[in-house]
Amino acid sequence: MKKLISVFLLLALLLSALPASAEGVVNVYNWEDYIDPAVITLFEQETGIKVNYMCFTTVEDMIVQVEANPGAFDVCFPSDYIIERMIRNDMLAEINFDNIPGAAQTIDYLRTPDYDPEEKFSVPYMWGTVGVLYNKELIGEPAKSWATLWDKQYQNNVIMLDSFRDSMGATLKSLGYSMNTHEIPAIMAAKNKLIEQKKSGVVKAYQVDETKDKMVAGEAALALMWSGDAMYAIDLNENLDYFVPEEGSNVWVDCAVIPKTAKNKENAEKFIDFLCRPEIAVMNVEYICYSTPNKGAIDLLGEDYTGNHVQNPDTAVLEKCEFLHDIEEKFLSIYEAMWMEVKNTK
């Protein structure tokens, strides 16, 4: 009898550890710190669907995990060029947009994007730009151009991003090339320009995560930065401001997608639709500080959002911006080698 009870208990334990029933869960895989936790609670309360929420820190990591654990994730949040790669590798399921009426709220600028031209696989979640964060108190109003980052009057005052797609991309843009160029002379010119920048003594440091705190502390006057991080820094130090250079820059989008191997596709669609509700999108924008693709949310936020040039950049600027594309591996090796040459410059 004792044996029977223990077997029964063991079974009960095993069953409870398994995901409840197929309609009861949705497995969400998002960037670290990239949702208002209250949104998850609200979704669970309203639908009764349990959210298994998991996080990643780099998209490269995410793609490896999705490949290695088929069926483990129902909703993921990759960036534009990763979506392009996932579509090419046949990793994404076509979304049934009848279940996501909220997707119609997407702003026109992000409709039919070039990473998903037929809008079959992705629903935009957050977006932003790459630009320059600067300290008004230290340097006043600089020229709104990439050339500012090369200007010798800002000696030892510029923090560059230790990330080759961003730093090389900004340099390519400043030279009038595409950030996604496969032209070898262009890549070489960008390398030389970055080496020149380092040798001239303008660069103080090459960093990623530390940059925003350093800018808040007034450690440097200028930094190459993502708009969301810039917004975070500006909230903490009112002397900071941000611009997207007039030559154009990079616009990036993180979207909700459903992997082909997803087990709870309908729940995934319900979850994505929930995120598209204007009130919910507002909660997330206020929590994360990036830009929202949701028209309804923009209306709700009103002047606070539309008047904010960091979150809501000028259309004239946006027209000159471009998405990052997945660079072919062989060209990527040139980018990587040249970035290493820059880093190795003394």
Partner 1 sequence: MRANLSLPWWAWAAMGAGLVVFAVMIGLTVKRNRGVHRSLFASPYTLWMIVFTVIPVILIGYYAFTNASGAFTLDNFKNFWDSNYESNKVILDVMGEEGAAYITRGTVNVDTLVYSLWMAFKCTVICLLLGYPAALFMADRNMKLGATLVVLFIIPMWMNFLLRTIAWMSLLEDSGLINTFLKWLGFEGVQLMYNSEAVLLGMVYNFLPFMVFPIYTVLSKMDFRLTEAAADLGCNSLQTLVKVTLPLSLPGVISGITMVFMPSVTTFFIPRVLGGGNTMMFGDLIESKFLTEGNWNVGSALSLIMMLLILLSLSILRKVDPNGEGGGIA
Binding test (CB under 8 A) with partner 1, winner from 48, 117, 140, 185: 185
Q: Does 2 bind partner 1 (CB under 8 A)?
A: no
Instruction: Point out which span in 58-66, 69-77, 258-266, 278-286 binds partner 1 (CB under 8 A).
Output: 58-66
Nearer CB in complex with partner 1: 204/265: 204
DSSP-derived pairing of the beta strands 122-135 and 240-243: antiparallel
Q: Are 190 and 209 in contact (CB under 8 A)?
A: no
Binding test (CB under 8 A) with partner 1, winner from 29, 78, 204, 323: 204
Closest distance to partner 1 from the beta carbon of 338 (Å): 7
Q: 10 Å Cβ neighbour count for 198?
A: 16
Q: Does 188 bind partner 1 (CB under 8 A)?
A: yes
**Cα–Cα distance for residue pair 65/136, rounded to 1 Å:** 43
According to DSSP, residue 223 is labeled E
* DSSP H/E element including 207: strand 203-207
Nearer CB in complex with partner 1: 25/334: 334
- Cα-flanking dihedrals φ and ψ of residue 334, to 5°? -70, -45
Binding test (CB under 8 A) with partner 1, winner from 158, 203, 225, 258: 203
Q: Does 184 bind partner 1 (CB under 8 A)?
A: yes
The set of residues, in sequence order, having a beta carbon less than 8 Å from that of 164 and lying 6+ positions away, is: 335, 336, 339
Binding test (CB under 8 A) with partner 1, winner from 9, 12, 38, 64: 64
Closest distance to partner 1 from the beta carbon of 230 (Å): 19
DSSP-derived pairing of the beta strands 158-161 and 222-226: parallel
- Name which of residues 316 to 335 contact partner 1 (CB under 8 A): 329-331, 333-334
With CA atoms as reference, report the closest residue to 90 among 256, 260, 258: 260
Q: Which residues bind partner 1 (CB under 8 A)?
A: 60-61, 63-64, 68, 156, 162, 164, 184-185, 188, 198, 203-207, 210, 214, 217-219, 329-331, 333-334, 336-338, 340-341, 343-344, 346
